Amino acid sequence: MMMVLQLQSNASASYILQQFPVRSSLPQNQISIASLSPSHLPSTSTRRRALSLITITTIFSDCCFCSNYTWSKQVSDFVELPASGGVKALDLRIGDGETPSDGDKVVIHYYGRLAAKQGWRFDSTYDHKDENGEPIPFEFVLGSGKVISGIDSAVRSMKVGGIRRVIIPPSEGYQNTSQEPIPPNFFDRQRLFTTIFNPTRLANGEGSTLGILIFDVELVSVRRG
């Protein structure tokens, strides 16, 4: 049975970076993230939300695609993508190829993490191997609704060859269990969806943090639709 996540509009988007003003442009040189000081943390009543914020910051110390970067800047280096519903992005590498349009078939590699599980990596295309042991990229038609909205928003303004890290609020993440990308491993899939759609925690008002996703996305190629 399809489970639909009921969330207040833009609740998580405003929370993630509410203590850090978003910069007006993406950084062009070295990119890094600094840990938060205790004075920045919310009160005890919002401890779980603070944990998610700390987790997001900690995750940035491990760049999946770009091991040569030095990480020391703050979450404020992220900017909100236009018309994205609150998706925040940080370009790790600017591509020099084509930019896709809706209807194009795009090919990406990605690492996906869940903030509510201390940055647990629930899926990666590099874990999907063909018969020769080579990683299998993920393909989809941009704007088709096949994938979660946050991935569409992340890819839409990228260039081929680029790598982008995005923070996806729950409203732009998984709204049901049929949206892709879906972890092929049953236990990973079960853990992901039972966390995001946990009825008890949703009833406790944690909907603005449960489904926060962090994706590293590399745009491999574009085929015009």
- Assess if residue 158 is contained within a domain: yes
CATH number at residue 113: 3.10.50.40
pLDDT above 50 (res 133): yes
Entry pTM: 0.73
3-class SS at 224?
coil
132: left (phi over 0), alpha (psi -120 to 50) or beta: alpha
Distances (CA, A) of 155 to 62, 121, 143, 192: 21, 20, 10, 22
pLDDT above 60 (res 1): no
Per the listing, tokens 């990596």 go with 121
- Assess if residue 195 is contained within a domain: yes
Per the listing, tokens 């194009």 go with 104
Query: What DSSP state is assigned to residue 126?
Result: G
Distance, in Å, from the CA atom of 167 to the CA atom of 196, rounded to the nearest integer, reads 15
Q: Domain count of the chain?
A: 1
CA 108-141-101 angle, 5° bins: 90
Query: What percent of the chain shows pLDDT beyond 70?
Result: 66
- Assess if residue 153 is contained within a domain: yes
- Assess if residue 128 is contained within a domain: yes
CA 87-91-97 angle, 5° bins: 110
Q: How many CB atoms lie within 10 A of CB 166?
A: 24
Query: What DSSP state is assigned to residue 112?
Result: E
- Assess if residue 214 is contained within a domain: yes
3-class SS at 98?
coil
- Assess if residue 74 is contained within a domain: no
Alpha helices by DSSP H, listed for 149-224, are 149-156, 186-196, 199-203, 207-210
- Residue 116: which of 202, 181, 178, 184 has the closest Cα? 202
Q: What range does the domain containing 219 cover?
A: 79-223
The average pLDDT across 9-22 equals 37
Q: Which residues contact 96 (CB under 8 A, 6 or more apart)?
A: 159, 160, 161
- Assess if residue 188 is contained within a domain: yes
The average pLDDT across 54-74 equals 48
User: In which band, very low, low, confident or very high, does the pLDDT at 107 lie, cut at 50, 70 and 90?
Assistant: very high
pLDDT above 50 (res 102): yes
Which residues sit opposite 1 in a β-bridge? Answer: none
- Assess if residue 96 is contained within a domain: yes
The average pLDDT across 158-166 equals 97
